[in-house]
Every structure is written in C-alpha cells, then in structure tokens.
Structure 1
Amino acid sequence: MVVDDSVSLLFSASHWPSIHIQKENENEDCDIEAKIRKICFDLNLPSLMEQAAVMGSVGSVAILVQAIENELVIEIKRTCFLEPTFSLLDPRKLVHVREQYIVDADGLKKAGFGDFPDGNYWFTRDFTESETVWYDPIPVEFSKEKNLALVRDEARSNQHGLGVVPIVWIKNLPAADPNAPDGKCTFNAGIDAMIDADYLLSQTVRGLRYSSDPTMVLSVDEYQLSNGLNASLTKDASHAIALPQGSDAKLLEINGTGAAAALNMWQALRSLSLEAMHGNRAHGDRVSAAQSGRAMELMCLGLTWLVGRLRRSYGDCGLISVIKLISLITQKFPDLEIAGHNYGSLQTKNISLVWPAWFEPTFGDMQTIANAVQSAKSSGVVSMDTAVRMMKPATHIQHVAEEIKKILNDNDFSQR
C-alpha cells in the first residue's frame, strides 16, 4: 500500500514532471523540450518509470536502453539477475553489467537458440561500454570455474560504441553504504509489525468464528455414555458434550471483548508500521469538507517526505539518465526511429525536472495564489518571469518564456 501510494505521487498522470532543457545562454530550448516530451509519451515512458519504481521498491532496478533493428527499445530489468561493476573513481558510473539466470531447454528453443537436450542452462549476457556480448548457454551442472570458458555468440553480439553501459542503475533509497549496488527497501521498516498484525488478525477471525458457533453442553445419565465418563469426547463446534444427570447445561461461548482488544492492537500495529515506512495515516472518512492542497499536504506529510526522496532517485538519477542515454543513442545513430519517428541527433546537456504540486490546488487556492501574485507584481517586488512561475502550479504551463510572450501579445492587442 505504501509503495502504491508513493508511486502514485511520483509518476502518475497529474504528477509527471516537466522536462526543461537550457541552452548555453540560459534560455529554454523549446524545440528540444517538445521533442523530448513527445518521445517520452511515444515510448510510454511514464508507465515504464511507474513500473520501475514499483519493481525497484525492494532496493534497486535497472533500465536497459538499446537500439534493435534501427528501433529504440526500453526494457526494465530485475537486479536480482544482474551483477554490476562500478568504477573505482566514480561509484555512480557503471563499467560492466553481467546478466545471468537459469532457463530450460524449451525456453531456449522459444527464444530462437535452437534445440538443446532437456535440462536447465545458464543464460549469460554482458553489457560493456563498447559492446553487448552474448554467450552460448551452458548446462547448470557445470561448476562455477567453468564459467570462465564461456563461448561468445558472435551472431548475436554487437558493437554499440556508446562509451557508456546502456543501462541506468537506480537505487531506491539512500542506504547505509553509499557504494552498495542496492538502496534501502521502501517497506523494510514495517515488515515485522505487519507480520504480527496478520497473525493477530487471523487469530481474531478464528475467535469470532468460534463465538458464532459455540459448543453445546447437555446433562444426561452416566449409563447413557459408552464406557462411562472415561470415554473419549469430541470437543468442537459440531459436537455436543454429554454430562451426568444433575449437571448444568450451557453453551460454551466467548464474549467479544477479546476480539475488540485484538482489533485495537491491530490498528496500533498498522499505525506503527505506516509511521515507520512514512506512509499515509490520514483517514478520508474523517474529512468533513473539501481540503486545500496545502492542508492535504500537511495531512500526508510523511508520505510527501518519502516521495521527495524517491524523486531524487527515480527522477534526477533515473529519468534524467534515461533521457540522456536516449539522446546519446540518437547522436550515435542519427537514423534511429523512435515509435516510428526520426528525431535526428538530440542534444540534451543542461536538463532538469520541474515537479508539480503534491496535490491539485482548489479554486480557493488558485484565487489566493492569483491575489498574492497580482499584489506582488503591482508593488514591483517580483518580475514578470517570477510571477508566471508562481502561477505555474495552477495554470500548468509548459514554457515560461512562451507564456510571457503570449501575455505581452495580449496586452498589446488590448491596448489597440
């Protein structure tokens, strides 16, 4: 639940960041920005980044970007099958990645590797700064030392010459060891508490089912019992217990106080785990009226703090790196097609992300922002550029410079 809530605030439809690219004169490059924005949606990059954030919540995720048959292809990789090697001088730079996992003979045949005897095989592939190396599958029963004798598959191996490994390695959250290949798991802090909560809830359900079908106790003569009172008695909800004459008859049942206490304890464990994971502990049924965007942000303060850290991991270190890798591939292969279109060589040096507000502003919020901006602009304490940027959360404009031009044109037209 915490992963789904955090990812929805990270890469959902209303939280996709605006991509800004500046020229050397610090002006916005609107043409390149429009191309990059179209490439992102043609490649369905928002959905891919959302899936990568969910998959990488356990610690890390990798995104493979490569050109296959003159077409750009993006693939998400689970890091449990990857072995990365980082540069000693720059721990953030990949120099080599080995992909290796076990497949069966039928899987190799479906993948086009040909017929192999029945059994399991190691699939191995290396990604370097200059080439992608495929190896012939080897049987699993081979010892680890025999992996040194991997046979290169020349037919599938290719030279890309990018100068970088075509993989973007994303660490989920900052870990204790900055040089570790994996980051911190999003939900690690709440696992123990939720295990206790699940066990407690299962026992509570068991007690409620027992109280719904109590055991009946009857009073009968002793001679009516076979073998006297020493007979084996079945004591469950579907059998009655027979007692000698004169004994009391009752229903063995439990009250609901234990179940209520267990549910209160479960709520406490749930709140504790959500607090440890920085999840959303606000209840929507307790809100009696529409809240402003700022009020919603304060209600979900822990969740916004978590998503703010994820924005650095999957935005600054993830999405920007993917866009830079795409532009590098287009520079190496200018005739490359992206979703059926050719964009030529893309130059994306100074690229940055502008994230939207955590929650959509209400009409009252927009009126408050407009009044504040108008007051600041009329008193001369802010420029036109700053005023437009202050109104950006409410107007969702893409380019500030183009918006200023439109405002000046409208003013000239109204004066005429």
Structure 2
Amino acid sequence: MSFQIIAARHPHDKDFPRATGINVRLSLLNGTFYSYQPYPFHQEYAGNEYIPLHDRSPNTHTGTNQLRTVIDDHVSMLFGDGHFPEVDTANAVVRKAAKDFIKDVGLVERMREAARIGSVGSVGIHLKVLQRPGGPARMFVDVHTTAFLTPEFDPYAPDTVLKVTELYKVRGERVREMGYSVPDDSLQSLWFVQRVWDDLGEWWFVPWKVEDQSRSDRPHVPVIDHDKSVTHELGFCPWVWVGGLNAEIDGPCTFEPGIEEAIQLDMLDSQIGRALKYTMDPTLLMLVPSAVPMMAAPVAGETSESEGQTPAGQGMAKTPSTVLTMDAEGDAKYLEIAGGGIEAASAYIKRQKSNLIETLHGDRVNPEEVTQGHQGAKSLEMLNASLLMHTEKLRVTYGEGALLRLLRMALKVMTSVTVTMNEEVVSVSGSWTDLALRWGDFYPLTPSDEDQTATALKSLIDTGIMSKETATKVIAGHYDIENVAEERAKVEAEQAAADLRAQAQTEHAAKIAPNKSSGLES
C-alpha cells in the first residue's frame, strides 16, 4: 500500500492546492489517515470481487502510532516538563513581565501544540489582544493549522510577517449562521469566507459565492465588513509564522521519510494473524472413507502392519508429514498451528519499528533494555544523540524563531496598552534588546555528573579560560538561577562578608597573641 494511493482518496480542492497536502499529513497525527479507505480490513470480498489490500483500512495502527510517538518525543524534549527555556535579560521588570505572560496565556502548552502541528511543514501562531471598552486588555495565543492561511513577508526582512490572509469555503447555511443574508436556494452553495490580519487591524470581508469568483464579465471584488472588522494599530502584524520564507511558505514535513514505512507496518501487523496460519506448520485433518486404508506413523519398538498401513476402521493415526487421518466420509481441513513462524514475524516488525525510529530521529531508549545500574545524563545523551541533534534544530526554529519573536511582540503590546496578566495590571518600560532564551540540560544531572561538572568549571576558572559569570550561566538552568548577574552579586557579597569575618578573626588573634605568650590572657 502506498501513501500516494491513500492520499489521493482524501478531499481535493483545486482552489487550495496547499490544503490537501497539509491536511493529509495532519490526519496522520490525529489518527484519521485511513478514514477514506472504502472497506474495513476484515472484508475480503464485495459481492464476487476480491478487495485488494490497498482498498482496505488496516485494523491496527502500529506504524502510524509509532510515527506519532516519535513526534511526541521531539515535542517533549523541546517544550516538555523541565525543558521549557528560561527568559534571560538584565531588565528585571521585563524578565518578570515575560514570565507572567508565559504563565497567563498558557504558553508552554501553546508552544507544544505549535511544535506538533508544525511538524507537517508550517504552523501559524496568533497573538490576540482583547480589550473591553474602557477596561484593561488581555492577551491570548492561538495556534493555527495553515491549510487555508497564506502569509506575506517583508521583502527586506523575510522573517517578518506583513500580512496573513485566511480564505476557505463553507456552505451557505453556515454563512447565514454568521449573520449574513443568504437566499434559501443558496444554502447548499459554496461560499468564500476571507479574513486578513495586518499591522493595522483584523479585517473581515463579506462572504461571496464561489461561482462569482470565476465570472469573466464581472469578477468579484472582496468588500470589507466594517462591523466585524477590528482596528488595533499595534504597528506590527501579530502573527508568527513557522515554516518556509517568501514563496516557500511551507518547510519540509519532519516525519515525511517515515510515512511509507509506517503504512507498511500498519498493513503488516493487520495481516500477521492471517499470515501466521499459512506459515506456522499447520496440521491437516483428513477424514478418510472406510474403504481407504489409513497411513499410520510407526511407533518406536513396534512393527507396523503391511508396511505402515492400518486396516480400515481402526481409529486415528498421525503421520510424520503432519497429516492426521481418521476413518469417516472424505474431507480435509487445517486443525491446528504449531506457532513456529511467529518469532520471524515478530522479529521483522521489531526491526521495522527500529528502522522507523532511527529514520525519524526518535527516542532509542527501550525501558525493557535499560540496565538497572547508573544511567548518567551524558550516557543518555550519547544514546539519544540523533534525537537530541534534531531537538537542537527545533530549538532554533521554535525557540529563537518563534517563541522569542512572540515574547517581543507581547512586550511591545505591554508598552503601549494597559494589560492585565494573572489578575494584575502590568506595564513595561526600558529596553529588552538583550532578551534571550536559556535552555537547560536535556537530562537532569546525577550527583556524579554534578561533581564532574563542578570540577571542570573550577579548572577552567582557575586557569583563566572561563569567567565565574560564564560558569554560572552554564549551570543556571539546572540550579534554577533566574538572573546570573544577581546571583553573582549575591556570591560576591557573601564572599566579601566572609573575608571581613576572617580579617576580624585574624586581627583579634593578633591582639591576644602577646597576652598568651606572657600568660596574661584575658
């Protein structure tokens, strides 16, 4: 079964050439990829015609489930518990505001969703600013699939979105539900719905019939619906686009190399029950008429009659060729299977799953094979080197390319609009040009790892290769050090206090030393 055969059965629309490819790959993530297969797997015939395998939906999803597991592994290593980056800046007000924003909008979960959806090639992240008349504003973050979204980038800054256009089709009855006037005879007709975001606002357009789009005598010109449209004048388009740039708005699908193998695994695992019956040494039961003599297997130490033949009507016998014969009217059927072929089938599936994980840079740690002994962080990093290298790429794409850009947008909003976050009014001032993300270790350090790290950092500091501040930055994520400069100031203050105590003790010892020598200690 081929991916292209199944994908061709999914809905296609000539007006949205990108949508089919994106939606088909999204269906692999949400488990609906086989929804358009004509027949269930157990149905072999439609009338008198045999149903080929490529027309059936597999009854097990071993491969596609494994594919989703690998994507979840990537997302977990990127934005999972303990892996979300810390915000780093010298401006304490900005740092707190950024952390409040992350908590208030549930950005950890939103970024996980974005990384999972974005694995198909692109994802859109929308920063919404909602404000009641006369009240403070609140910010929200929405994650969108991009099948019906088209970005426009700044030609002089190709990583900056100037405009995002949403265009899709709905039935006329849905247009009526949106509050527009639709004739009764057009309720089942297809209509275009369009919305545009730019640096000034969110613009809705009055829906129009699809058939009006292609009229040569009077081409349709979209009309802005000012009642639904909203002007925000933020000065920037509140969207972050993760994918390609300029004309190539979609990047590569990260799980594309494993799709064919995943489908093959689904079909193989669905077939394995039937395949075992034909490959695992079945015993054949033959019901032989009484007039036909039955072949009996020779028994050790005994001599069979008539060179191994038993007179008719004397019961049941099994030959060395796994044929079981009985005295009855003629018939034959498979009676049992020995089970010898299941090892080969299981080994093949296991090998294919391993190949799929390796192809997609998945987690290679098998809980059943992990030893009971010490598993240090560095050992796990070496074992999962492929997974971590891929996650490093995702950190650039979704960290510096998406999360950091979204944080800067939110901070710009806080400087111009009164914002409420976590039920507190927040205002931001000052500069955040040094805003950065600080990523932690992929695996928590063990006490042994901590000792080795401390020794190595001390050696680098003592030899003048690394400063104490840089060494603190290296371990900041693991020890939850929010601000390196403040931590260094605390350390220096404690060291200065310790030096003063040591100096005072030395001076006190010097004063009483003469008295001790003369025996007049006070």
TM-score > 0.5, shorter chain as reference: yes
The equivalences for 1:52-91 within 5 A come to: 52-69=114-131, 70-91=137-158
Q: What is the alpha-carbon distance in structure 1 between the residues aligned to residue 427 and residue 455 of structure 2?
A: 45
User: Relative CO higher for 1 or 2, CA cutoff 8 Å, sep ≥ 6?
Assistant: 1
Secondary structure of 2:163's aligned partner: strand
1:385, 1:404 within 8 Å by CA — same for their partners in 2? yes
Deviation at 1:263, TM superposition (A): 2.3
2:212, 2:220 within 8 Å by CA — same for their partners in 1? no
Deviation at 1:51, TM superposition (A): 0.8
| Further displaced range: 194-203 or 296-305 | 194-203
Percentage of identical aligned residues: 27
Letter in 2 for 1:187: F
1:388, 1:400 within 8 Å by CA — same for their partners in 2? yes
Seen in structure 2, the aligned counterparts of structure 1 residues 387 and 113 have a Cα distance that, compared at 3 Å, is same
| Further displaced range: 38-47 or 82-91 | 82-91
Counterpart in 1 of 2:11? Answer: none
Pick from 186, 202, 212 the counterpart of residue 254 of structure 2. 186
Q: TM-score, normalised by structure 2?
A: 0.67
| Further displaced range: 341-350 or 311-320 | 341-350
| Further displaced range: 402-411 or 304-313 | 402-411
Counterpart in 1 of 2:84? Answer: 16
Q: Based on CA coordinates, which of the two structures has the bigger radius of gyration?
A: 2
Residues 210-259 of structure 1: CA distance to partner in whole angstroms, max 9, x if unpaired? 7799774422369xxxxxxxxxxxxxxxxxx9999697977455443433
**Unmatched segments (≥5 aa) in structure 2:** 1-68, 132-136, 292-323, 502-522
The equivalences for 1:395-410 within 5 A come to: 395-410=479-494
**Count of aligned pairs:** 387
The equivalences for 1:304-383 within 5 A come to: 304-331=388-415, 333-346=416-429, 347-378=431-462, 380-383=464-467
Seen in structure 2, the aligned counterparts of structure 1 residues 292 and 37 have a Cα distance that, compared at 3 Å, is same
Secondary structure of 1:181's aligned partner: coil
Deviation at 1:371, TM superposition (A): 2.7
Residues 330-385 of structure 1: CA distance to partner in whole angstroms, max 9, x if unpaired? 33x32233343332245433322111111111111112222333344455553321
Pick from 57, 75, 81 the counterpart of residue 7 of structure 1. 75
Q: What is the alpha-carbon distance in structure 2 between the residues aligned to residue 107 and residue 391 of structure 1?
A: 55
The equivalences for 1:8-407 within 5 A come to: 8-21=76-89, 28-69=90-131, 70-104=137-171, 107=174, 113=179, 116=182, 117=184, 118-119=187-188, 120-144=190-214, 148-171=220-243, 179-208=247-276, 216-220=285-289, 251-288=334-371, 289-331=373-415, 333-346=416-429, 347-378=431-462, 380-407=464-491
CA RMSD after TM alignment: 3.1
Seen in structure 2, the aligned counterparts of structure 1 residues 387 and 83 have a Cα distance that, compared at 3 Å, is closer
Deviation at 1:139, TM superposition (A): 3.5
Q: What is the alpha-carbon distance in structure 2 between the residues aligned to residue 144 and residue 213 of structure 1?
A: 65
Residues 287-339 of structure 1: CA distance to partner in whole angstroms, max 9, x if unpaired? 212311111011111100111111111111100111111122233x3223334
1:123, 1:138 within 8 Å by CA — same for their partners in 2? yes
Letter in 1 for 2:345: A
**Unmatched segments (≥5 aa) in structure 1:** 22-27, 223-240
Q: What is the alpha-carbon distance in structure 2 between the residues aligned to residue 78 and residue 137 of structure 1?
A: 21
Seen in structure 2, the aligned counterparts of structure 1 residues 363 and 107 have a Cα distance that, compared at 3 Å, is farther
Q: What is the alpha-carbon distance in structure 1 between the residues aligned to residue 477 and residue 377 of structure 2?
A: 11
Q: What is the alpha-carbon distance in structure 2 between the residues aligned to residue 15 and residue 322 of structure 1?
A: 18
